[in-house]
Amino acid sequence: MSERRAVVTGAGSGIGLAIARELLSRGYSLLACSRFDHELDALAGALARGRVDRFARDLATQEGVSDLLATVDRLESPPDLLVNCAGLGAWGEHLAIDDARTRATIAVNVAALTAITTHVVRAMVGRGSGRVLQVASTAAFQPVPMFATYAATKHYVRAFSDALRDELDGTGVTITVLYPGPTKTAFIDAARFPIEGAAGSVGWIAKQTLLDPADVAKKGVDAALRGDRGVVVGPLNQLQRALSKVLPDTATRAIWKALRGRM
Ligand SMILES: NC(=O)c1ccc[n+]([C@@H]2O[C@H](COP(=O)([O-])OP(=O)(O)OC[C@H]3O[C@@H](n4cnc5c(N)ncnc54)[C@H](OP(=O)(O)O)[C@@H]3O)[C@@H](O)[C@H]2O)c1
**Residue 22's CATH number:** 3.40.50.720
- CA separation for the pair 219, 215 (Å, rounded): 6
Instruction: Return averaged pLDDT per consecutive 10 residues of the chain, 263 residues in all.
Output: 88 97 96 96 83 96 98 97 97 96 98 98 98 97 92 98 98 98 89 65 71 98 98 92 87 76 61
Nearest protein CA to atom 46 of ligand 1, as residue = 87
Q: Is the Cβ atom of 19 under 6 angstroms away from ligand 1?
A: no
Per-residue burial over 124-161, b = 16 or more CB atoms within 10 Å of its CB, e = otherwise: bbeeeebbbbbbbbbbbbbebebbbbbbbbbbbbbebb
Nearest protein CA to atom 44 of ligand 1, as residue = 87
Closest residue by Cα to residue 117 from 76, 162, 75, 152 = 162
pTM tops 0.75: yes
Q: What is the pLDDT of residue 46?
A: 75
Nearest protein CA to atom 39 of ligand 1, as residue = 13
Residues acting as catalytic residues: 150
A 10 A CB-CB count for 184 gives 15
| 5 Cβ contact partners less than 8 Å away, ≥ 6 residues apart | 28, 29, 30, 31, 75, 77, 79, 80, 81
Closest residue by Cα to residue 110 from 91, 87, 128, 133 = 87
Distance 87 CA to ligand 1 centre (A): 4
Q: Is the Cβ atom of 190 under 6 angstroms away from ligand 1?
A: yes
Q: Is the Cβ atom of 187 under 6 angstroms away from ligand 1?
A: yes
Q: What is the pLDDT of residue 252?
A: 79
* Long-range contacts formed by 164-168: CB under 8 A, 24+ apart: 164/117, 164/121, 165/229, 168/121, 168/125
Number of domains, the chain: 1
User: Could you list the residue range(s) of the whole structural domain that residue 120 is in?
Assistant: 5-260
Q: Which amino acid is at 176?
A: T
| 40 Cβ contact partners less than 8 Å away, ≥ 6 residues apart | 11, 12, 32, 34, 47, 52, 54, 56
Q: Is the Cβ atom of 28 under 6 angstroms away from ligand 1?
A: no
